[in-house]
Each structure stands twice: as structure tokens, then as C-alpha cells.
Amino acid sequence: MKITTINGSPRKNGCSEKLLSKVREGARDSGIETISFIVNRMNIKGCQACMFCKQNKGCIVKDDMAEIYMAIDQSDVVVFGVPIYTHEMSAQLKTVFDRFYLYSRMDNDFNFSSTMKKGKKCILIISYGNHDKNIYKKYAESLVTKFKHVGFEEVTVFVASDSMNVHPEYLESCYEIGRNLC
């Protein structure tokens, strides 16, 4: 089994990175191979809306997104660090998400399908400063729908509110998430 973590936060040792590193630690303790990316350190352009991917295999933009496509292809589970900046996912992560358009197929009746290999699971670790556990409930639900649209078959969410204090129970829970992946 293999997992990939993709951190959308630019903060070195921020909440997302602390929680993702615990997921990786738990996963490794279960003998799971891990790959990790920090989007902010990569060279990834926004989607060019050229539709090349609808007629051809792959993306016409040759940049570090190729590494993420390959890692997703090889992984059973992809864990995203989703920091909330101005009430939504960071711009870094949105840039990656837009590039997932490569997987999307749509028929004339606007029915979506995906070219992503079947059976992949995704976990969204959503971190934000507000103390209210439920304040982004609707947004989290919309993210679940969006990540399913691009082809992840199962999408689950872990919420870390009050993220300026990375609570020990968050670290423990994320370790357990990684430990119990297989």
C-alpha cells in the first residue's frame, strides 16, 4: 500500500504540516510507503483551459504537476492538507485542484465521470484558526463533492479548528488515521 500527502500550506511547520507528518508517521508504522509534497515549494502553473487533456493523454503544461499525477496514480490514498485562507482552500492547493481537471470527463448532459484509476480514497485535513468546529461544515461538504467529481471514490474529512494551538488530540487522531489506513 502507498499513500501520498499533499500539503497546500505555505507555512513551514504549520498546522497542516504537523498533522500530515503524524499521518505519515502512523502510516509508516503500519508498513505503508509514503510520498509527500509541499505545493508551495513546487513549480506548478494554473490550468491553461486549453482542453488538451480532453483530446490527449496527459497535460500540455510541463511542470512539477507531473510528479503529483504520477504519485496519485501509484497511491491508494491521497491525504491533502487544506489550510483555510479567506474562507476557502489556499491558492496553492486550488492551483493543484484545478489541474485535476485533467481527470474530468463530461457528457452533453453535464454528467461527470473521471479517468482517475478506480478505488482511490482521499482524506482532507482542514485546518483553520476559528474556534468553531462547525463553521466550515458546508464548505467541507462542498469539498467532498468536488474531490469526488475528480475521481476519488471515498472522501473523508478531519477538521482541525483553533489551529494556532495544534491540540495534542489532533496529532494523536492524525497518527491513528495513518496507522489505520490498511
Ligand X SMILES: Cc1cc2nc3c(=O)[nH]c(=O)nc-3n(C[C@H](O)[C@H](O)[C@H](O)COP(=O)(O)O)c2cc1C
Closer Cβ to ligand X, 12 or 118, answer by number = 12
Applying CB under 6 A, the site for ligand X has a residue count of: 15
Distance of closest approach, residue 134 Cβ to ligand X, in angstroms: 12
Q: Given the complex with ligand X, which of 154 and 172 has the nearer CB atom?
A: 172
Q: Is 11 in the site for ligand X (CB under 6 A)?
A: yes
**Any contact of residue 139 with ligand X (CB under 6 A)?**
no
Q: Return the C-alpha cell found at 153.
A: 471514490
Sequence letter at residue 87? H
- Cα–Cα distance between 26 and 131 in angstroms, integer? 26
Residue 24 CB, nearest distance to ligand X (Å)? Answer: 15
Please count the other Cβ atoms lying within 10 Å of the Cβ belonging to residue 112.
13
Cα 154 to its chain centre, rounded Å, is: 12
Site string for ligand X, 96-135 (x = CB under 6 A): -------------------------------xxxx-----
Q: Which of 87, 91, 93, 159 is nearest to 127 (CA)?
A: 159
